[in-house]
A and B are shown apart, each in its own frame.
Chain A
Amino acid sequence: MRRRYVRGALVVLGAAALMATVAAQDVPPPLVSSQELLDGLKADGSRWLTFGGNYTNQRHSPLTQITPANVTRLVPQWVFQTDTPGRFETTPLVRDNVLYVTGPLNVAWAIDARTGREIWRYKRELPPTGGLTACCGLVNRGFGVLGDRLFMTTLDAHLLALDMKTGAVVWDATLEDFSKGYASTIAPLVVKDKVIVGVAGGEYGIRGFIDAYDAKTGKRAWRFYTIPGPGEPGHDTWAGDSWQRGGASVWATGAYDPDLNLVYYGIGNPGPDYHSESRKGDNLYSDSLVALDPDTGTLRWHYQFTPHDLHDWDATETPLLVDAQFRSQPRKLLLHGNRNGFFYVLDRLTGKVLLAESFVKKLTWASGIGPDGRPKLLPGNEPTVEGQLVCPSVSGAANWPSNAYSPATGLFYLFAQESCNIYSKNDQWWEAGKSFYGGGSRRAPGDDASGKSLKAIDIQTGRTKWEIPDIGGGILGSGLMATAGGLIFYGDGYGAFIAADATNGKLLWHFNTSQSWKGGPMTYTVDGAQYIGVAAGSTILAFGLR
């Protein structure tokens, strides 16, 4: 119980003696090892070391202290005010009772996980006004960690290594020139000795990529362009020179399977979003899931959810890995609830589609997914100069906020939205560093907030087992988390933080914050007591049992 005191205790007298002790002693607190990252979430709740909790992105915690029986005793433990305006899309990391949190505007903190008091703060000034486009919003989704370093992407398209103890910059790597529309908002994924990140700017005529950097030196180890260059397979899926500015950004953290030695990333939409004549072809690897060798960046397989996308349906919903019986066979699965309205189960060894079912009723663009994995397109869904009604809307049937999966229930939890847009196109042409949509979308008559729900999908059938209707707001809200205690946690569109029963969706507890949720919840323990941590608006909140 009080081990921490013994570990930290040193009986010395006076400053000089302190110095001598420091010089003589070389047993610093243990560093975050690659093994810890592989081990993922521990039953003692002492850590949360990646965006999705562990490499599977299941966002499922083994903690069981908070349960459906006692969740009504959940109360706020502390509030951390960031004094930073903007949307917090971050998921805090935790290690040794300290939370590590990034915010918008290139800011980050270390916070005492027990009390919510600041330990250090980091801020990188934004570049002088002009030039910073930061598609699509001044946001950041969190840290990666290895050794004694935290890794953070910046709005001016850098990757930083910060010293975990002080927040000081250890190295600073440039991904690309931000003035050309590049930015980075993704939470880095650390695999072995590499830090893997992607680049945002899909609406600014960039050419997307995934990069890996050496965690020690900040040197780039490899780059995978999400749009193949001349001579590479897939290059011919882009007409003319459209590949040079085709978008295909990467802003949602990937997953990693150590047994297959593959990382999985969802890729953003092709550009210009709505005016597609200039980019005839499938536009690989936009709107695709790519499986890469993390040591070299070599592509092993890909699957494209929406070939030649006309509706800005990024595939940036977090890829979620599950090992489960599927159709009476033990399989390595990848689950994905796509913006285009279909829920997919892929074989993550091969990329083969095992199941694809729509999870919304408002879906006009395809009648289903064929045996070859390609959508069966329906006519009359192309943006026009006058405007064309298409479902789902541009924000999608689902979007990037993290989904969750519970091995206990076998259910995949996601936010879903019944919505349509009127899509139009124009003949805007590309200019470096400027937005590049080639059209727009507007509200469809009759669309309202009532079409948003939380769905629990049975992964065996792709059918919705139950749903929590009318969660308010939009699908661009908080992420989801499931726990072995039998709960799911999320923030709803009205500003409440909610706990529901993971088996049936019954609402069990809520706490109103009147905040706009953007970040995903996580959970940890301090001295054996379970906390739930989440970014609410521009504050960080921690809840625990009374």
Chain B
Amino acid sequence: MKWMSLALVVLVLAAADVLAQDVFLKIPADRPTKNPLEGNAEAITAGMGAYRVRCADCHGMDARGIRGPDITQVWAKGRTDGALFSTVRNGVPNTEMPAHPAPRTSDLDIWRILAYLKTIAPATADGPAAGNASAGEGLFASNCVACHRVGDRGGHLGPDLSRIGVARARAAMSRQIRGSMADVRTGYQPVTLTTPNGQEIRGVKKNEDLFSVQVMDTRERIQGYLREDMKSVSDEKKSVMPVFGPDKLTDAQLDDLLAYLESLKGTDAAPPAANR
């Protein structure tokens, strides 16, 4: 009977509402500076689920960073629960870290995720990079700067690294340099366009559809082309980023380079005042 199932739904919703209210009641209206759910087993389990669905694509299943930074270090580096809450809620301007506004993300959701993260965060921060940053800067200048940009210097074919030190974990950068990262980041897919008279335009693909392709060519000209004007448009499998194996870059040199990259915090490294 329709009305019976409706009644059941209403009952279940009412019960869920009571439960939800119960949890909400534990969170004071004024945002606490300390996570009210820290150590709460149910919150940690729920937070783990939410973290894996909503955060892990960028920060990694272990939160040690893939496209986004390592976020296991944040407490050891002095950030407070309240500041981390603000970062999740408001995002980080000029980065890929989006805001997570209510109502889709409740205060409860954020505190649960932070409660989970706290369980996998070490009490002390990883030590500074072993290498020598100024030696690393030299290696960067001779190997990387043609494609990667830091501040107002360097090329544009590869991603801008001006704030890579806060955007990527050391291990992730190491994997990228050593060539063990399989996928090509969107916007950096190598492509070759061949004109009817056989000339080639090589570059990285910024966008495409069935009828056109937008590239940055090796002269760093950004430009759109119609596929019908081309003899062929072909993607290359491998990233333009060369593999720097131990033959090209010793472990010690890699440490130097990582030390330099970790020092790159962008033009406006300080988080907004409200986030401190």
Q: Considering the chains assembled together, what is the distance between the CA atoms of A4 and B199 in angstroms?
A: 11
Q: Considering the chains assembled together, what is the distance between the CA atoms of A526 and B90 in angstroms?
A: 41
* Residues of A contacting B221 in the complex (Cβ-Cβ under 8 angstroms): 7-8, 28-29, 96
From A59-67, A161-169, A191-199, A470-478, the one touching the partner chain is: A161-169
Question: B45-71 interface mask toward A, CB cutoff 8 Å, 1 = contact, 0 = none?
Answer: 000000000000000000000000000
Q: Please give the distance in Å from B40's CB to the nearest CB on chain A.
A: 27
Q: Do A9 and B195 contact each other (CB < 8 Å), given the known contacts A28-B219, A29-B221, A125-B91?
A: yes
* Residues of A contacting B187 in the complex (Cβ-Cβ under 8 angstroms): 120
Q: Do A166 and B160 contact each other (CB < 8 Å), given the known contacts A19-B146, A112-B212?
A: yes
Q: Are B212 and A114 in contact (CB under 8 A)?
A: yes
Q: Are B201 and A9 in contact (CB under 8 A)?
A: yes
Q: Are B241 and A124 in contact (CB under 8 A)?
A: no
Question: A234-249 interface mask toward B, CB cutoff 8 Å, 1 = contact, 0 = none?
Answer: 0000000000000000
Q: Do A110 and B94 contact each other (CB < 8 Å), given the known contacts A9-B195, A163-B156?
A: no
Q: Are B220 and A96 in contact (CB under 8 A)?
A: no
Q: Are B160 and A19 in contact (CB under 8 A)?
A: no
* Residues of A contacting B151 in the complex (Cβ-Cβ under 8 angstroms): 170
Q: Considering the chains assembled together, what is the distance between the CA atoms of A9 and B226 in angstroms?
A: 16
Q: Is the interface of B mostly helix, strand, loop or mixed?
A: loop
Q: Which of B89, B162, B216 contacts A168 (CB 8 A)?
A: B162
Q: Are A5 and B218 in contact (CB under 8 A)?
A: no
- B265 contacts the other chain (CB 8 A): no
Question: A95-109 interface mask toward B, CB cutoff 8 Å, 1 = contact, 0 = none?
Answer: 011100000000000
Q: Please give the distance in Å from B39's CB to the nearest CB on chain A.
A: 28
Q: Are B239 and A18 in contact (CB under 8 A)?
A: no
- B178 contacts the other chain (CB 8 A): no
Q: Are B199 and A6 in contact (CB under 8 A)?
A: yes
Q: Do A18 and B267 contact each other (CB < 8 Å), given the known contacts A8-B221, A115-B224, A128-B86?
A: no
- A22 contacts the other chain (CB 8 A): yes
Q: Considering the chains assembled together, what is the distance between the CA atoms of A25 and B239 in angstroms?
A: 20
B: interface residue count bin:
35 or more
- A42 contacts the other chain (CB 8 A): no
Q: Please give the distance in Å from A133's CB to the nearest CB on chain B.
A: 16
Q: Considering the chains assembled together, what is the distance between the CA atoms of A2 and B221 in angstroms?
A: 15
- A432 contacts the other chain (CB 8 A): no
Q: Are B274 and A5 in contact (CB under 8 A)?
A: no
User: Closest B-chain residue to A171, C-beta based?
Assistant: B267
Q: Considering the chains assembled together, what is the distance between the CA atoms of A279 and B151 in angstroms?
A: 46
Q: Are B242 and A97 in contact (CB under 8 A)?
A: no
Q: Are A125 and B223 in contact (CB under 8 A)?
A: no
Q: Are A12 and B202 in contact (CB under 8 A)?
A: yes
* Residues of B contacting A168 in the complex (Cβ-Cβ under 8 angstroms): 149, 160, 162
Q: Please give the distance in Å from B138's CB to the nearest CB on chain A.
A: 16
- A86 contacts the other chain (CB 8 A): no
Q: Are A8 and B201 in contact (CB under 8 A)?
A: yes
- A260 contacts the other chain (CB 8 A): no
Q: Which of A7, A28, A29, A119 contacts B206 (CB 8 A)?
A: A119
Q: Considering the chains assembled together, what is the distance between the CA atoms of A97 and B224 in angstroms?
A: 8
Question: B86-100 interface mask toward A, CB cutoff 8 Å, 1 = contact, 0 = none?
Answer: 100111111000010
* Residues of A contacting B131 in the complex (Cβ-Cβ under 8 angstroms): none
* Residues of A contacting B157 in the complex (Cβ-Cβ under 8 angstroms): 22
* Residues of A contacting B125 in the complex (Cβ-Cβ under 8 angstroms): none
Q: Do A172 and B242 contact each other (CB < 8 Å), given the known contacts A112-B214, A115-B212?
A: no
- B207 contacts the other chain (CB 8 A): yes
Q: Are A15 and B242 in contact (CB under 8 A)?
A: yes
* Residues of A contacting B218 in the complex (Cβ-Cβ under 8 angstroms): 10, 12, 18, 21-22, 25
Q: Are B226 and A115 in contact (CB under 8 A)?
A: yes
Q: Are A117 and B268 in contact (CB under 8 A)?
A: no
Q: Considering the chains assembled together, what is the distance between the CA atoms of A171 and B208 in angstroms?
A: 30
- B183 contacts the other chain (CB 8 A): no
- B255 contacts the other chain (CB 8 A): no
Q: Considering the chains assembled together, what is the distance between the CA atoms of A15 and B204 in angstroms?
A: 11
Q: Considering the chains assembled together, what is the distance between the CA atoms of A166 and B155 in angstroms?
A: 10
* Residues of B contacting A7 in the complex (Cβ-Cβ under 8 angstroms): 219, 221
Q: Please give the distance in Å from B37's CB to the nearest CB on chain A.
A: 22
Q: Please give the distance in Å from A94's CB to the nearest CB on chain B.
A: 13
* Residues of B contacting A2 in the complex (Cβ-Cβ under 8 angstroms): 195, 197
Q: Are B267 and A170 in contact (CB under 8 A)?
A: yes
Q: Please give the distance in Å from A81's CB to the nearest CB on chain B.
A: 13
Q: Considering the chains assembled together, what is the distance between the CA atoms of A98 and B214 in angstroms?
A: 10
Q: Are A165 and B222 in contact (CB under 8 A)?
A: yes
- A69 contacts the other chain (CB 8 A): no
* Residues of A contacting B162 in the complex (Cβ-Cβ under 8 angstroms): 168
Q: Considering the chains assembled together, what is the distance between the CA atoms of A128 and B149 in angstroms?
A: 29
- B240 contacts the other chain (CB 8 A): yes
* Residues of A contacting B208 in the complex (Cβ-Cβ under 8 angstroms): 117
Q: Are B240 and A5 in contact (CB under 8 A)?
A: no
Question: A439-481 interface mask toward B, CB cutoff 8 Å, 1 = contact, 0 = none?
Answer: 0000000000000000000000000000000000000000000
Q: Are A18 and B240 in contact (CB under 8 A)?
A: yes
* Residues of B contacting A124 in the complex (Cβ-Cβ under 8 angstroms): 93-94
Q: Please give the distance in Å from A18's CB to the nearest CB on chain B.
A: 6
Q: Are B200 and A11 in contact (CB under 8 A)?
A: yes
Interface positions, chain B 140-164, Cβ under 8 Å from A, are 146-147, 149, 151-152, 155-157, 160, 162
- B136 contacts the other chain (CB 8 A): no
Q: Are B146 and A127 in contact (CB under 8 A)?
A: no
**Residue with the highest number of chain A CB atoms closer than 10 Å, among B155, B203, B220, B224:** B224
- B211 contacts the other chain (CB 8 A): yes
Interface positions, chain A 56-105, Cβ under 8 Å from B, are 96-98
Q: Are B242 and A19 in contact (CB under 8 A)?
A: yes
Q: Considering the chains assembled together, what is the distance between the CA atoms of A25 and B157 in angstroms?
A: 13
Q: Are A128 and B90 in contact (CB under 8 A)?
A: yes
- A118 contacts the other chain (CB 8 A): yes
Q: Are A11 and B267 in contact (CB under 8 A)?
A: no
* Residues of B contacting A171 in the complex (Cβ-Cβ under 8 angstroms): 152, 267
Q: Considering the chains assembled together, what is the distance between the CA atoms of A125 and B151 in angstroms?
A: 20
* Residues of A contacting B34 in the complex (Cβ-Cβ under 8 angstroms): none
* Residues of B contacting A10 in the complex (Cβ-Cβ under 8 angstroms): 200-202, 217-219
Q: Please give the distance in Å from A19's CB to the nearest CB on chain B.
A: 6
Q: Do A15 and B240 contact each other (CB < 8 Å), given the known contacts A9-B199, A117-B214, A166-B160?
A: yes
Q: Which of A5, A22, A119 contacts B147 (CB 8 A)?
A: A22
* Residues of B contacting A27 in the complex (Cβ-Cβ under 8 angstroms): 219
Interface positions, chain A 143-173, Cβ under 8 Å from B, are 163, 165-166, 168-172
Q: Are B146 and A22 in contact (CB under 8 A)?
A: yes
**Residue with the highest number of chain B CB atoms closer than 10 Å, among A15, A98, A118:** A15
Q: Are A29 and B195 in contact (CB under 8 A)?
A: no
Q: Please give the distance in Å from B145's CB to the nearest CB on chain A.
A: 9
Q: Are B224 and A128 in contact (CB under 8 A)?
A: no
Name the 3 nearest CB pairs between A and B, nearest first. Answer: A112-B224, A125-B93, A9-B199
Pairs A–B under 8 Å by Cβ, sample size 24: A2-B197, A5-B195, A8-B203, A8-B221, A8-B223, A10-B218, A10-B219, A11-B200, A15-B190, A18-B218, A22-B218, A110-B222, A112-B212, A112-B214, A113-B224, A115-B214, A117-B212, A118-B207, A125-B90, A125-B93, A128-B89, A163-B156, A165-B156, A168-B160
Task: Give 13 new A-B contacts, CB below 8 A, not counting A5-B199, A112-B207.
Answer: A9-B201, A18-B240, A25-B219, A28-B219, A114-B224, A114-B226, A115-B214, A117-B207, A117-B208, A119-B224, A128-B89, A165-B222, A171-B267
